[in-house]
């Protein structure tokens, strides 16, 4: 069995946890949800609670749902995609925030994979045992930005090898709640499961190697925020978000690793995958692609000037 994670912020006050999840995930019965809560597969702000707890609003709920290894056949869906580049081997897209990459319980449709299969039907014919459907790497649901897609088996194998060998350069931009102590820096801190909140990640001494470099590119914000560029030298789960928290400069909008009470009204993390560079799987030439920052994030920065 594999797992999928559903994460959301509580908007209504005074509601029971189990009833709230039933409304959010109608494909699951109330008894199923109550059993999941009892088994610790549901947390509120990282803590295990009882099914009948009444929520105040603003809490972050994480639901871990077991998913059968043999999932239902994926259906193509005509969902608009912003394509930055494409040829016979690859496509490069600018993923919007709010789009889940893979279908799963709670998100059975409307995902990036559904959109890819409609745009490039040949992807569904790829001889891929892992069922990646052209997906080489992932972005979190609330992270926007550039992604490379493989359109055939050879391209998929080559790009996955480049990621494993750390030959792919990935640059992100994030607005942090506080300015880092230095203009540039390197965060070398291992990441693993948080021993106190097992459903999230943290810097832990016995974690996997995680290295992030950063550079402050704009700090002209009236409330002390800073726009920072991050380069990932490793690819750990939630790496930038965890490392930003580690240096006490959490990402604006991050309700898991950031401030519980957000100062800026934003329904997503202010984290954007800005650039990616890799060797083209056919030509071997080094190529680089950029995804413009979403207008909504640009407007947030203007309001904070």
**Domain limits of the chain?**
2-67, 171-271
In the numeric block, the tokens 């999230």 are attached to 200
pLDDT digit string (tens) for 67-122? Answer: 543 344 678 999 999 999 999 999 999 999 999 888 765 666 889 999 999 999 99
Per-residue pLDDT at 67: 54
- Token digits of residue 150: 């493989």
Annotated active-site residue in 18, 89, 140, 142: 140
DSSP single-letter state for residue 183: S
Question: Which CATH homologous superfamily contains domain 171-271?
Answer: Pseudouridine synthase (3.30.2350.10)
Residue 4 and residue 106: Cα distance in Å, rounded? 9
Give, in degrees to the nearest 5, the angle at Cα 138 between 137 and 142.
160
Mark whether 169 is an active-site residue: no
HSE toward the beta carbon, residue 32, CA cutoff 13 A: 12
**What CATH topology corresponds to 2-67?**
3.10.290
pLDDT digit string (tens) for 263-304? Answer: 898 989 999 999 999 999 999 999 999 999 999 999 999 999
DSSP single-letter state for residue 122: G
DSSP single-letter state for residue 71: P
Per-residue pLDDT at 175: 98
pLDDT at 1 over 50: no
pLDDT at 182 over 90: yes
- Token digits of residue 256: 């898991």
């Amino acid at each position: 069995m594999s797992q999928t994670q559903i994460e959301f912020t509580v908007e209504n006050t005074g509601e029971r946890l189990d009833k709230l999840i039933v409304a959010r995930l109608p494909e699951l019965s109330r008894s199923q949800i109550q059993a999941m809560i009892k088994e610790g597969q549901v947390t509120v702000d990282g803590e295990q609670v009882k099914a009948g707890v009444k929520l105040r609003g603003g809490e972050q709920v994480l639901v871990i749902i077991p998913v059968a290894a043999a999932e239902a056949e994926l259906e193509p869906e005509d969902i608009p995609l912003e394509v930055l580049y494409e040829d016979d081997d690859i496509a490069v897209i600018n993923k919007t925030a709010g789009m889940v990459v893979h279908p799963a319980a709670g998100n059975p449709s409307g995902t990036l994979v559904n959109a890819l299969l409609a745009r490039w039907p040949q992807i569904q014919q790829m001889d891929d045992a892992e069922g990646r459907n052209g997906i080489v790497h992932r972005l979190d649901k609330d992270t926007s930005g550039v992604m490379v897609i493989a359109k055939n088996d050879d391209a998929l194998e080559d790009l996955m090898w480049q990621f494993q060998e750390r030959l792919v350069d990935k640059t992100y931009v994030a607005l942090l709640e506080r300015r880092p102590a230095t203009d540039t820096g390197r965060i070398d801190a291992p990441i693993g499961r948080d021993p106190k909140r097992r459903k999230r990640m943290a810097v832990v001494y016995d974690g996997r190697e995680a290295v992030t470099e950063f550079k402050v590119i704009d700090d002209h914000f009236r409330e002390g925020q800073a726009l920072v560029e991050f380069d990932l030298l490793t690819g750990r789960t939630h790496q930038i978000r965890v490392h930003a928290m580690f240096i006490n400069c959490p990402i604006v909008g991050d309700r898991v690793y950031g401030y519980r009470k957000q100062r800026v009204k934003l329904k997503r993390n202010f984290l954007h995958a800005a650039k990616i560079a890799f060797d083209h799987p056919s030509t071997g030439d080094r190529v680089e692609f950029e995804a413009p920052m979403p207008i909504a994030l640009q407007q947030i920065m203007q309001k904070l000037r």
